[in-house]
Amino acid sequence: MNPPAISRRHLLHTAIAGVAGTPAVLRAEDSPKGTSFHEDARDLPLVTDVDVIVCGAGPAGIAAAITAARAGAKVRVFEWRGCLGGVWTAGLLGYLLDFDKPGFNQELLKRLDERDMRRGTSKGSICYEPEGMKLLLEELFVEAGVKFQLHTRVSAAYREGKRLTTIVTESKSGRQAWRAPVFIDTTGDGDLGALAGCAFEFGESDSCPCQPMSLNALLVCKDAASLASYIHGSDPSKADGLAKDALLAEIQRTGHFPSYSKPTLWQVRDNLLLVMMNHQYGVPCFDAAKITEATVQARAEMHKIVNGLRKLGGPWEGLQIAATAEQIGVRDGRRIKGRYVVNKEDVIAGARYDDAVVRATFSVDIHALSAEHNKTAAYHNAGIKTKPYDIPLRALIAKDVDGLMMAGRNISGDFIAHASYRVTGNSVAMGEAAGVTAALAALSKRLPHEVPWSEGSAKLAQIRKPV
């Protein structure tokens, strides 16, 4: 199957590209008209001690780094937040979807079970404890010998010709430069791909009808049993949409209509609950001012709802927010253009590829693109019935820049396909594939697109931990 042509509109996002040694980051139109500040060039400390650099430690980056290390590569990871895990931890996700897959997905479930941190019996939809996940991931990194630096943001990328050679990070240690033969962009938002000059798409179109952001929170209650009819089970085969509708009715009783009309409560453990009940519309993942505004509004709405529920009394008595997420959840980021674009037709036809790294099964899940849509449908599937479909390795390899792979929600795909593969079970599987391919490429002095997937999958079979 051939990739669909990427529209001219989307190709507008190609950053300044092609000049060796030029940071492909700031576009003239990004500066307010007529104003600019000249920053002097300076020498930075340069470190060249690893084979693979992974940027971003969410579900995809975790799997990529651990897998590359197990495949024999020296690996370094940079993560902007103060913990590993991305949406799993800083985003307080609490729920794993499309997780019934072999490899690191199963290993992680086993590790969660060993620590009694998983709830529910479903194979594909699992509730877990976000705080325990932070510790588990750190231990897994240490065990695999992955070098990692938290509180560190990837902020520039430099190429020699088409090849990405060096990145620059910013942190309390200042600006630092890092070089490696292969890089993996697992920033979720596609920061590295964009910095390196790759073309990308985001949302449904340029004006950002993109999927809304949501700020999750942990709540404590007096007695979870008395809230049972409002708590979503972890088995999707059960008709527990009823719990969401019941919770919506309770929130409406407080005099508020939530910006997410399918508010969802999960039980993490005992009297600890997790909640998702807000949407922030039209916020591009690369606009810090709008993300700030969205975060502030979302946090205010969460407090308003929880305070309102507590005032209802009865089973809600004593309900309070234990913590809102450090990071508002971003559904739609940049989708970096790869050597293949996973597309709507793949999802409809149930595409099969020789270089398949994962078979995605999750439905097309498009959350309301505006407050108006939310009143009629909190989410929809665009009328598409998903047939389990393959994601090929080519969608994880950048087209415009050599030595760069992607994994997770920023791989190469269209709006519809992304709305299906974007959940964490697929991100983990993609991370594994990118990790093993990057390691094989770096250790044999090849580029990722020169490593056949037959080699990568054979190596994966050797290094996966038995579960």
Ligand X SMILES: Cc1cc2nc3c(=O)[nH]c(=O)nc-3n(C[C@H](O)[C@H](O)[C@H](O)COP(=O)(O)OP(=O)(O)OC[C@H]3O[C@@H](n4cnc5c(N)ncnc54)[C@H](O)[C@@H]3O)c2cc1C
**Separation CA 162–CA 160 (nearest Å):** 6
What number of residues does the chain have?
467
CB of 411 to ligand X, least distance (A): 8
382 near 436, Cβ under 8 Å?
Answer: no
CB of 382 to ligand X, least distance (A): 17
Q: Which residues contact 420 (CB under 8 A, 6 or more apart)?
A: 347, 360, 362, 363, 364, 365, 386
CB of 422 to ligand X, least distance (A): 5
Cβ distance to ligand X smaller for residue 44 or 443: 44
337 near 412, Cβ under 8 Å?
Answer: yes
131-136: which pairs have CB atoms within 8 A and are 24 or more residues apart?
Answer: 131/89, 133/85, 133/88, 133/89, 134/83, 134/84, 134/85, 134/89, 136/111, 136/112
CB of 330 to ligand X, least distance (A): 5
Number of C-beta neighbours around residue 453 at 10 A: 20
Cβ distance to ligand X smaller for residue 316 or 386: 386
In what helix (H) or strand (E) does residue 64 lie, and over which residues does it extend? helix 59-70
Cβ distance to ligand X smaller for residue 316 or 401: 401
- The CA–CA distances, whole Å, from 174 to 37, 79, 153, 170, 183 equal 19, 15, 11, 5, 21
167 near 65, Cβ under 8 Å?
Answer: no
Cβ distance to ligand X smaller for residue 58 or 284: 58
**Separation CA 378–CA 212 (nearest Å):** 10
The site for ligand X (CB under 6 A) is made up of 55-61, 78-81, 86-87, 90, 93, 95-97, 153-154, 186-189, 191, 214, 276, 329-331, 408-409, 422-424, 427
Task: Look up residue 397 and give its two tokens.
Answer: 């390899």
Cβ distance to ligand X smaller for residue 265 or 315: 265
Cβ distance to ligand X smaller for residue 316 or 411: 411
Cβ distance to ligand X smaller for residue 172 or 445: 172
CB of 276 to ligand X, least distance (A): 6
Cβ distance to ligand X smaller for residue 57 or 460: 57
H, E, C per residue of 279-320: CECCCCCCCHHHHHHHHHHHHHHHHHHHHHHHHHCHHHCCCE
3-class DSSP assignment, residue 204: coil
**Separation CA 230–CA 130 (nearest Å):** 21
CB of 157 to ligand X, least distance (A): 10
CB of 195 to ligand X, least distance (A): 8
Cβ distance to ligand X smaller for residue 254 or 426: 426
CB of 152 to ligand X, least distance (A): 6
CB of 250 to ligand X, least distance (A): 21
CB of 8 to ligand X, least distance (A): 27
Cβ distance to ligand X smaller for residue 133 or 154: 154
CB of 87 to ligand X, least distance (A): 3
**Separation CA 272–CA 266 (nearest Å):** 9
CB of 5 to ligand X, least distance (A): 25
Cβ distance to ligand X smaller for residue 193 or 448: 193
Cβ distance to ligand X smaller for residue 222 or 290: 290
Cβ burial, residue 116 (10 Å; 0-12/13-18/19+) = exposed
In what helix (H) or strand (E) does residue 178 lie, and over which residues does it extend? strand 174-179
Task: Look up residue 216 and give its two tokens.
Answer: 């999750």
439 near 67, Cβ under 8 Å?
Answer: yes
192 near 408, Cβ under 8 Å?
Answer: no
